[in-house]
Structure 1
Amino acid sequence: MKTQIIDIKLRLVDLLKEVIKYQCFPIIFPLYYYFNHKDYSWLKEKNRQARINQGVNNKKIMVIDDRIPYPENGSGYPRTQQILKGLSSLDFKISYYAFIPFVNKDKVERHFNSNIEFITSPLIAKKGALRAIRENLSTIDILLISRPITLKRLYRHLPEFKRQNPNIKIFYDSEAINALRLKGSSQRVNRYLTKELHMASFADKTIAISLRERKVFEQLLQLERLEVLGHQTQEVNISNPIEERSGLLFMGPLYRKSTENSQAFLFFLERIWPYILKNSVTTTFTHIGRNHLIKSHKNLKPNIKLVGEVKDISIYLNKSRVFVAPTLSSSGIPLKLIESGAHGLPSVCSTILANQLGWETEVHALVADDPEEFANQCIRLLTDDELWHKISKNVLQKVKSEYSKLHFTNQLKAIFEPS
């Protein structure tokens, strides 16, 4: 009987892991936590050490987000990870709670500083967040709420937090304005835009991801404190010369078909790739990142490689010839283009992405929206060495000047340590 119970528990854990893998609603977390709580025993010791490493005289920032920002998740999470690392390096006490708090030991140790505390709860997402905030409210100096979906869940509780701790500062990092992704009439977009941005009016400070999105906030709201915080790139070793590079690279997680990455990937695969093959160009198309979209490789067109999740994206950025980003609807800033630029890898991207970054066509990237034109631009970078070197040099200089670690750290200091 005891063996059967253990077997049932193990089966449930395996089942729930699969459900989690495919982005299921977080109501299953209490069950997962109950059956698999031993997986989190290491976290108690990790958090104890984190609190010791934090010291006693630093301001405490509690960050509430949708999920733990592992960089491989894409969708703006690499930037959130950089914010956490940057703030902890500035000697703030950082406590982090995610609505979907699945803490992976290897990833936490690999991606985050040791002085960051990760709070988990067996309660369902919002209830767990409220309990975590209320238990720590008297010691919190800054409550940093990340993403529109998180603010929406907590918005009506913000006055309560202010009443219980009048000294607390509430910061809202919008990450990206979701309403800008909507399609339809301008009236519909503006209605959702006004509703989304209005929630930011209660924050003591609002953080936009780009100057473009800051202007959107300014047009609709009269906010006293509106800041911009972009993305940070690391200094990388650009090792491979052009002679040792080949193929086209697409990067980012592929979830359901309706997501931006999946739509862009399928658009390239179905509308652009055939034009490249038609022009008798011998090359490969490689995807790196999570893949929940394409289960079978049997029906893929020739020379397509689905690598999956990788620990070091630099290997692929350094050996590819062209980066492709045919995204046709987006908000925020395209972090993957910044990463490719930091590696000196020229890209072909859509107009909307070039505009978000302020990149000029034929200078920092080649830009196209039409499938045939996009294919032609890819072929140009695959075959024209002089053009490749020009774009590579320009985009590398652009990224270094706007997304360096020093620039990002100075932005963090200006926002969280105002003089």
Structure 2
Amino acid sequence: MNKKVLIIGFVWPEPKSSAAGSRMMQLIETFQDQDYNITFASPCAKSDNAFNLESIGVLQTAIELNNESFDAFVIDLDPDIVLFDRFMMEEQFGWRVTENCPNAIKILDTEDLHSLRKGRHQAFKDDVLFDKSYLFNDTAKREIASVYRCDLTLIISEAEMDILKNDFKVDEALLLYLPFMLEQISEDSITKFPEFETRQHFITIGNFLHEPNYNAVLYLKDTIWPLIRKQLPDTELHVYGAYASQKVNQLHNEKQGFFIKGFAEDVNVVMKQAKVCLAPIRFGAGLKGKLIDAMQNGTPMVTSTVGAEGMFGDLEPNGFIEDIPNNFANLAIQLYKKEKVWSEKQEYGFAIINNRFNSKKHKRMLLSRIESIIDNLHIHRQNNFMGQMLHHHSMQSTKFMSRWIEEKNKA
């Protein structure tokens, strides 16, 4: 009988809207490759951009927060693995899984470290350098507790692995570095990409519900783009992203060559047409999907230190990393004008995709770790005393708060 995976999602996957959505589809594909039966459940309402999971054989189920109906649902499903998409879902449903399916392996996919993203955002707002006082925030206390309560936590960035191991002192046995899992870019497909002279204009892309993306676009509009436009007056910046609000759309200015394009039905099409990708991200966490999109489509980029974090390892980046606006603009102009530099950076991008984000390698590591935990579940949990302790306490506070809300809702 096929093993069963229950994925509890904070939102329904939107692979065309966000890197998180693409990441979730990669995880689903990994389990499908092993013939797991997959059920995706979420308390969130579906948007028009949500992927129809049933079209690929994944069952879709709506679940409710603070409702005992989930208990009956999970008992009936009896999953072998439960994957929580973001720590908030583990907080809400983890104790119910533990009570009703104690032998199910619990996996947390962080997407990125929310505590790191929140701390950096606060330091940015305070106009100070980010340090541990910003990292050790209240979100971190919740997030790290969730890591300990799970059997395995998937970490998308090596930089975040280092933070968890060195700053939070989390045992590496509870963690797995699992970046984006991508198909190799073949030499044949490379020859079919549009070449330097046929491409034009600059591009940036990102889901506008994500504050770092909106901030980066605003930074481009006010600070960096005028510097580029002054030297390249005939160029345009095309800004793509799902959920563009009024405050985003009002940045559109054709005279300045600043075009808000909105949702991209196919990111590969618009990225291939562009000559250079700009990503001056000033705070955030995780890996930046826009840089992956750029590398997969042979589009060199200029990004910030935060944008580059965890992306390139010891390989040369597919462009330039710069935080000073004038330098950022000059490097973007250099990429745009000099074909030799552009072509060299493009090649680096292909190498990064093929070497650092090799789908087969990372899928194999994930499945191997899961099998190891299944085979040694008792010892694995016994070695995680911190997790046992947090289960004991959190299953009292979180559980009874949830029960109280549940009873209140019945009244």
C-alpha distance in 2 between matches for 1:214 and 1:137: 34
Decide whether the 8 Å contact of 2:13 with 2:50 is kept in 1.
no
Match of 1:186 among 123, 128, 132: 132
One-letter code aligned to 1:137 = I
Unmatched 5+ stretches in structure 1: 1-56
C-alpha distance in 2 between matches for 1:336 and 1:194: 29
Tell me: CA distance 1:362–1:277, structure 2 relative to 1, closer, same or farther (3 Å). farther
Match of 1:149 among 88, 92, 95: 88
Give 3-state SS (helix, strand or coil) of 1:76's partner: helix
Which residue number corresponds to residue 97 of structure 2? 161
Match of 1:230 among 175, 179, 182: 179
Match of 2:214 among 262, 272, 279: 262
Decide whether the 8 Å contact of 1:322 with 1:381 is kept in 2.
yes
C-alpha distance in 2 between matches for 1:203 and 1:102: 27
Flag as ranges the 4+ runs of structure 1 deviating above 6 A. none
Is 1:117 the counterpart of 2:59 in the alignment? yes
C-alpha distance in 2 between matches for 1:330 and 1:294: 19
Question: 1:154-186 CA deviation, whole Å, 9 max, x = no partner?
Answer: 35xx2x432332321111111111111213363
Match of 1:210 among 157, 160, 163: 157
Tell me: CA distance 1:312–1:234, structure 2 relative to 1, closer, same or farther (3 Å). farther
Query: Which structure is higher in RCO with an 8 Å CA cutoff and minimum separation 6?
Result: 2
Give 3-state SS (helix, strand or coil) of 1:199's partner: helix
Which residue number corresponds to residue 111 of structure 2? 175
Tell me: CA distance 1:255–1:175, structure 2 relative to 1, closer, same or farther (3 Å). closer
TM-score normalised by structure 2 residue count:
0.78
Give 3-state SS (helix, strand or coil) of 1:137's partner: helix
Unmatched 5+ stretches in structure 2: 124-130, 376-411
Which residue number corresponds to residue 367 of structure 1? 321
TM-score normalised by structure 1 residue count:
0.77
Mean Cα deviation higher: 172-181 or 73-82: 73-82
C-alpha distance in 2 between matches for 1:359 and 1:390: 18
Instruction: Give runs of aligned pairs for residues 18-417 of structure 1, distance below 5 A.
Output: 57-74=1-18, 76-102=20-46, 104=48, 108-109=51-52, 114-121=56-63, 123=64, 126-127=65-66, 131-132=69-70, 134-138=72-76, 139-155=78-94, 158=95, 160-181=96-117, 182=119, 183-184=122-123, 186-192=132-138, 193-219=140-166, 220=168, 221-222=170-171, 224-234=173-183, 237-238=189-190, 239-255=193-209, 259-290=211-242, 291-292=244-245, 293-296=247-250, 299=253, 301-358=255-312, 363-417=317-371
C-alpha distance in 1 between matches for 2:71 and 2:301: 43
Which residue number corresponds to residue 383 of structure 2? none
C-alpha distance in 2 between matches for 1:255 and 1:225: 31
Question: 1:51-85 CA deviation, whole Å, 9 max, x = no partner?
Answer: xxxxxx11111111111111123152211122112
Identity of aligned residues (%): 20
Give 3-state SS (helix, strand or coil) of 2:285's partner: coil
One-letter code aligned to 1:200 = V
Aligned residues: 352
Tell me: CA distance 1:150–1:411, structure 2 relative to 1, closer, same or farther (3 Å). same
Tell me: CA distance 1:131–1:103, structure 2 relative to 1, closer, same or farther (3 Å). farther
Decide whether the 8 Å contact of 2:316 with 2:348 is kept in 1.
no
Question: 1:37-59 CA deviation, whole Å, 9 max, x = no partner?
Answer: xxxxxxxxxxxxxxxxxxxx111
C-alpha distance in 2 between matches for 1:81 and 1:295: 29
Aligned-pair Cα RMSD in Å? 2.5
Q: CA deviation at 1:321?
A: 0.4
Mean Cα deviation higher: 229-238 or 177-186: 229-238
